[in-house]
Structure 1
Amino acid sequence: MLTKVLIIILAVIVLLVLWGVSVYNSMVGLRNRVKNGWSQIDVLLKQRADLIPNLVETVKGYAGHESGTLTAVTQARAGAVQAAAASAASNDGSRAVAMRAQAENKLSGALVNLLATAEAYPDLKANQNFLDLQGQLSDLEQKIAYARQFYNDVTQKYNTRIQQVPSNIIAALFHFRESQYFEAEPAAREVPKVDFSK
């Protein structure tokens, strides 16, 4: 009788250990998918940052007197590059995502203003180099939007897994931390105002 009880207890312990290993491994997998999602966003944002100087120079050739818009784009790009470096060096993942998202949202707004400004210059809109750069930028923006969606989806799954009972016990034991979503700032949700009367 004692051996049957001992066997049952050992079986329960083995099942709990196997469950714990399974939960731990699934959380590690989700955490790595979150990191991969962030890396994909990072690559696309770097490509966008590399494309912007060419776009600014092309616009500058046709709309040189739009220096305020060009300066805003250049400054926003510099801020995004600086935020990328700071987020790469940061140990606080959620703060790094928030900093990077803020800088990238500012850059996106500046690019919208630049492209809106370009609409006022028919010669620029007909320039093949500008059209190619605009097409590349549009393609990158679509990829960035998809990568953000993927990142946020996988972040939601990861955060849910960490918070759900009983996997939250394993998460607490092994110090799994919630990941930040890549969110637009409230100002970025507003429709930009374009004024061609100037």
Structure 2
Amino acid sequence: MFEQLTQLVKQYGGDAVVNNAAVPNEHNEAVINETSSSIFSGLQKIASEGGVEQLAGLFNGNASIDNSNPVVKQISQQLSGSLGEKFGLSSSDASGVASSMIPQILSSLVNKAKDPNDGSFQISDIINSISGNSGQASSIMDTISKYGMQFGLDQNGDGKVDLEDAIAVTKSKGGISGLFGKLFGK
């Protein structure tokens, strides 16, 4: 997933990085890579700190993906700090780079993940990448349980969405990616 994310950053990095006089040309590629790293680690941090609902809102389209979005804000702040620290950008220049790129990149990521005709990003791959093998499965299951009834994820008809439903989904056609596809409207 990281390579595809870096491609998205390169796609949107033209004006914000390459054509930006505040970013010295010798740092362009490093700033692009730092942006990719910040987005990926920012999503991981949000997931690990219990922000699974924020991520679910981001990926299912319930939240606007602009600079007022809490996920966008957190990742933008993280990136701004890194750009200032690592590349000597002023606070306003670093903030400008982050605030112009992060909403565009996350919006494109979400749109690609939700587009059934675009296989470059899959919701399940994104969730697996950002949650890793840590204790995130329970947080994700809690979120699925909270919102799952409205998405028709109660596979065994017991009135709740729980691990038994996840097991039923993994045994059924579509597996876990089918579960995330239903959750995120794919």
Q: TM-score by structure 1 length?
A: 0.28
Higher helix share: 1
Q: TM-score by structure 2 length?
A: 0.29
Larger Rg: 1
If asked which structure has higher relative contact order (CA below 8 Å, sep 6+), I would say 1
